[in-house]
Structure 1
């Protein structure tokens, strides 16, 4: 790395130092004046929050006070704060404290992080500040629901987001002391084949970025949309201040910015989400959504019920892009392909179902502690609408989620499928290749062949005995003898209502033939449909997955 990447070599012994703030002021000035994609955010004059903290005129050093919508000036310039609540008690806005907060908020009532955020705003000459715990009435579910629906606008319209990245709770503050030497890359002089020496700097950028991405705030669910929707972010990490916007990623070590080969699903790669439109290429839309879910699904939440609400701002943005109905974490357009999501695990603990109803089992949002990969079984890296040489073996007839809003908690949901079902008897395993017995129609073979099936189980199986499951084929590769689908479970399949338990992949001529021979009652028509791709949905059955309601299946003859 050339020394030209570094603008200077003097760093203070704290992120509170003048050297640190010189960097911040330069980044902010450059971004506002020069970055077109950052300045193309919606005009702040077009919208203003419900409440803000007024820090007073510059230089006045007044105590902050809460102001409400009618007091907030048009074209207001404000900052937002992203922070971990943690276990420490913090001053919160409640019904009984509104009048006091509108008069003034005592500094001694504010956590160290909140105090530092006020100071940071004043140093950046920003008069107004939005903090969730002080601008949302915490003991009012009505106000919380209303403000949750406005999160997209709160972050999208701020001038900057202040991120307390290293702080586990409000007692930590924004700033850290440090040894300036840890910021300094190792200088080297390299002599090339032509004999000419060149001064270089040695720094492990990948290791540095991974450490930053593992900071406490970076692992929190709510922060995903805060980070993606804010036009620019000033991160206060454990060692230095880091700048992030649509056009730059810089640090005190590398104030001019740099590029890196960080891991593929890094959230910075998703900042293009704000520039997506309905006319964007399909694969760009779906790739962006896939990466959002993979990053967000493994993030932590203090309250399980927030699983879908915490990305409601992103969902609102993507709904405008996809132009289709949103269904508890999935989209109606191409929903059959999206049902093939799978848990991505590499030696990690098994995920769990939420203790309260968050989403139907066919949605990835029904799981906790899982990194979700949409379309994980497929070899394609593109949109579901662009699968090549693949044939759908099912069809979604209708789906319903209650309520339908993306900003309120889901209480029920089902998807009504027209599909084939194959009974299967499985001895539980964590995940991987193992044999599954499927019954053959007794008039044909009168035996149960074994199928070598790769399954990814959503949650841990507590019953160690043989269980009765159902395979629901979704995609047939035909040419590559490759079939994918869902693993379903039902206490009473006669009711036609099932729960998702995992996904499967099957490969090989013998296994595929055995599977299709096992389609009960109508295996002959199923085999014919598979080879001709005509009349695929004739004489198949309709089933529901994930509903709390008891609606019986019906035979479909057309």
Structure 2
């Protein structure tokens, strides 16, 4: 029997609370009560000590009354890792502050109660990062999927930064690549707000020759770039790809040429370095603070209990590793600002292997597995049913892109659009390019049909009935109520019938069980020769029953607005799900619009209609949203041919 097991047995035999603990579904005790219980129970002593190391949290909120500090233990035996421990206290104006305590032991320093896991600690030092990455790179060499070349182009990036060390200083030089094979890293990072992004080091037509002719110190780069160059060099590599320095900025031709290579750039990199916790170039890769705290105390028998405790801020139900373990369409990653960016979703999926520098540890993802420094993502007891141990949406992406049949590809595409649409993008015109390489890999020529601005031709008309999802809009990514959650760009390059015309999370799973509208023509012209690229003209012609309607907008008691559609001669009103939030037209503007409802499909309870407005000076229409109506709205209506642009 191990020393930890012997200690546990000895303590449990003398403590009824410890003997009964596995059978307790949940408990809630104040810190004052814990102090009393801890005099007779070492398990409660552990909870008390774990709470006390975060005393500064509630002291900052002006609390010293131990009766107001509540520790809650919840057990859900349906989950693989059932016990969760929460600490809460009042934080003013009736609000409650709540954190989750994660209590664990270290290898060789196990906690003598089974519900407390044993995990290795992240390194929090540069050599530890190098060792973790190098170990996983070596393991990854044995993965057949990770060495599968077919999904990514073998074409080199047009430019790379070459690294050299002069004494203790690292320098870089911009090189134009040849047909030679290069082993390089690539960086996935946040540019930051416009002010910070403007100051980011860039290659332009004015300075490109200078960057090619002269080595320069990495001290000229942002902290994130400095760290990326440093870790690349420490891994024994001498080339790195950084978008702002390897693509000529403000040069449309060069950008379009390089954009087509993204699958090759990220898929061809030896490693993609993800600055996950940095909101801009000033954040860097390396962690500046250690998120855990240690506790140690003696038992009555003279044994030493040692534990490591972290405190996760709770702004919802998510836990630290949940976003890696689930494929939820709208996961939360509050402390990973990089993951709010639309471009980054594609970069993550395209990479053969990627290491994420988070605020607490390194997370490894390749086509075959996901792992982290603390070991949770490889822990069978902590795995989730959806992806199993060591799997994530990235590993599923590769499986679908490489082996999936047509139905699997289409179903996964719905998840991709949900994930992608939930993220922010600086330039609306980038929405198609930021998804193009992903679409190229998911496509199976001859099976899905043409790629039409985020929708596959063979899924039309059904998948035209996408909808903007407002459920829990404060979650992610636009968290402030005064901000618009769904915006339609005035840029007309993406047609209104495409979900990509809206910035804001959407669902493309659709609501069309039995489609009534018939496609009579598709007039789609590409702006370039790239079948996944920009659209020059996108018109879809449908034949369906059409009814002229009006849209009314009213303000509710909670300050929100309610949009409804109705026939002019009828008092009956139906809720509208607008594409935009708030609605893109004012009430005065609506009075001047010619609006119609197009009978689209029938579900079990409703007739689904697409709400369109006539383009000024044209016989064509633009989409405004969708509405659940009944057959009365289309009584006496006639079938018409409608062109949606």
Of the structure 1 ranges 420-429 and 465-474, higher mean CA displacement relative to structure 2 is found in 465-474
Cα 1:186–1:437 change in 2 (3 A) is farther
Deviates more, 1:1-10 or 1:327-336: 1-10
| Cα distance change on mapping 1:312 and 1:45 into 2, 3 Å | closer
Report what 1:48 is aligned to: 156
In structure 1, the partner of 2:492 is: 357
- The 10-residue stretch of structure 1 (429-438 or 283-292) with the greater mean CA deviation from structure 2: 429-438
- Alignment of 1:371 with 2:505, yes or no, is yes
CA contact (8 A) 1:341 1:373 kept: yes
Q: CA deviation at 1:249?
A: 2.0
Q: How do 1:173-188 and structure 2 match up within 5 A?
A: 173-179=284-290, 181=292
State the partner residue of 2:190.
84
Mapping of 1:185-264 within 5 angstroms?
A: 206-209=318-321, 212=333, 214-254=335-375, 257-258=378-379, 260-261=383-384
Describe the shift of the 1:223–1:263 C-alpha distance in structure 2 as closer, same or farther (beyond 3 A).
Answer: farther
* TM-fit CA distance, 1:69: 2.1
Q: Shift of residue 271 of structure 1?
A: 4.0
Offset at residue 470 of structure 1 (A) = 1.0
Please report how far the alpha carbon of residue 451 of structure 1 lies from its aligned counterpart in structure 2 after TM superposition.
4.7
Match of 2:127 in 1: 18
User: Partner of 1:382 in structure 2?
Assistant: none
Q: 1:437 matched to which residue of 2?
A: 566
Q: 1:351 to 1:179 in 2, by over 3 A?
A: same
1:154 is matched with 265
Q: Please give the secondary structure, in 2, of the residue aligned with 1:253.
A: coil
Number of the residue aligned with 2:59 = none
Answer yes or no: is the 8 Å Cα contact 1:6–1:253 preserved in 2.
no
Q: Are the structure 2 counterparts of residues 377 and 429 from structure 1 closer, same or farther at C-alpha, using a change threshold of 3 Å?
A: farther
2:240 pairs with 1:129? yes
Give the 3 Å change call, closer, same or farther, for CA 99–502 of structure 1 in structure 2.
Answer: same
Does the Cα contact within 8 Å between 2:552 and 2:587 map onto a contact in 1?
yes
User: Displacement, 1:206?
Assistant: 4.2
* SS of residue matched to 2:458: coil
Cα offsets for 1:255-313 (capped at 9, x unmatched): 7624654999xx94254333335973333111211111111112111222111111111
Could you say what secondary structure the match of 1:207 adopts? coil
Q: 1:285 to 1:463 in 2, by over 3 A?
A: same
Q: Is the 8 A contact 1:469 1:488 kept in 2?
A: yes
Q: Say whether the 8 Å CA contact 1:432–1:456 is kept in structure 2.
A: no
1:543 paired residue number: 642
Query: Matches of 1:117 and 1:456 in 2, distance apart?
Result: 45
Q: Does 2:614 align with 1:490? A: yes
Counterparts in 2 of 1:484 and 1:263: CA distance versus 1, 3 Å: farther
Task: Answer whether contact 1:394 1:473 (CA < 8 A) is retained.
Answer: no
CA distance in structure 2 between the partners assigned to 1:262 and 1:433 by the alignment:
39
Q: What secondary structure is seen at the aligned counterpart in 1 of 2:319?
A: helix
Q: Matched residue of 2:236: which SS?
A: coil
Number of aligned residue pairs: give it: 482
- Say which SS state the counterpart of residue 206 (structure 2) adopts: helix
Report the Cα offset of residue 406 of structure 1: 5.3
Deviation at 1:503, TM superposition (A): 0.9
Q: Deviations over 1:154-204 (max 9, x none)?
A: 11111211011111221221111222626x8999xxxxxxxxxxx999998
CA drift at 1:396? 4.3
Match of 1:298 in 2: 422
Q: TM-score, normalised by structure 1?
A: 0.76
Q: 1:59 to 1:225 in 2, by over 3 A?
A: farther
Cα separation, 2, equivalents of 1:94 and 1:428: 48
Measured after TM superposition, the shift of residue 517 of structure 1 is 1.9
Which of the pair has the greater relative contact order for Cα pairs under 8 Å at 6+ separation?
Answer: 1
Residue 596 (structure 2) aligns with = 470
Query: Would the aligned equivalents of 2:132 and 2:373 in 1 still touch at CA under 8 Å?
Result: yes
Q: CA deviation at 1:40?
A: 2.1
- Aligned residue for 2:191, secondary structure, equals coil
Question: Given the two structures, how large is their TM-score scaled by the length of structure 2?
Answer: 0.67
Cα root mean square deviation, aligned: 3.6
Q: Which runs of 5+ in 2 are unaligned?
A: 1-80, 82-103, 108-115, 298-305, 324-331, 474-483
Measure, in 2, the Cα distance between the counterparts of 1:150 and 1:458: 32
- Give 1:83 deviation, angstroms: 0.8
**Contact between 2:275 and 2:284, CA under 8 Å: does it hold in 1?**
yes
- How far apart in 1 are the matches of 2:520 and 2:230? 54
Which deviates more from structure 2 when the two are superposed, residues 337-346 or residues 209-218?
209-218
- CA deviations 1:312-360 (Å, max 9, x no partner) are 1112223335442111222211221111000011253441211333411
